[in-house]
Structure 1
């Protein structure tokens, strides 16, 4: 039963996010409340997926997501037990139409990925091993606002963070390692899409 729940962990996050949607827009604060103030990995996953999906077309969303993930990572490194976000972020609104479109777009890839996820290399999800990937993700977020000028690069960086968060959420250390390998490839991908041709 536990394995079945673990296999549905990512879809469950999308389900909870979708169930929080109402009216024409939704505040970041409502998303946090729906996912839980202790759900660092789930919140990191949701916001990075938003920046990966078609919802990333919302102006400035990559920079906002980078700031949110940066704040979450700093708190995880500090060992904080519950999420805190500044009010200028929690009061920010997102279009529910674009958000639902992004959730729908993510369903198929999430269902596909879930089939391969399982608890493994779980020691990597604990200190001191976890500190290295957290520091690397934090470094990546510092460059994400600059990536908005290069098409698709912000989405690539967000996808790396989403994979890392998915690894934390499903206790799959192999996925965490995979996300770090992809992180090292981000500069090359940004160069290719931004400056080649």
Structure 2
């Protein structure tokens, strides 16, 4: 999904109204990235005529789809297009109380030449797919803060669970799950 000026402006307004959450590594920038992902996901659900309740004020989940399916959106910004072997992360500092039925992952492509805080550096959102909480807990690789993933050289600033893109449930299958919720 191409990111329009209107969408970015809406995300900035939403992000400006949020507190800086405890354990936030990137502070205001984390809020902006998360809000862009949430708005993209809301538009995706609306495009597919799925009913949902916005619960982003909670840290337990972001949405309730249909009558009962709890979902949390995780958004990561990248400087390259996502690849099947790339990771998606769920920080563990929320995991004890954040127990949605599904996690959904969005990757934002940002332009490196624009400033690190310029909100218009984000150009495209990729809707990657999702994973159930049970599958996440079963297949994810756990990383502790300070550990380095030898496959890509990433050092983790916080403990997290990682799943690769190719481990996610594809969007067409998730849409069916969402329709049946």
**TM-score interval for Structure 1 and Structure 2 normalised by the shorter chain:** under 0.3
| TM-score normalised by length of structure 1 | 0.26
The structure in which a higher percent of residues are strand is: 2
Structure with higher RCO (Cα < 8 A, 6+ apart): 1
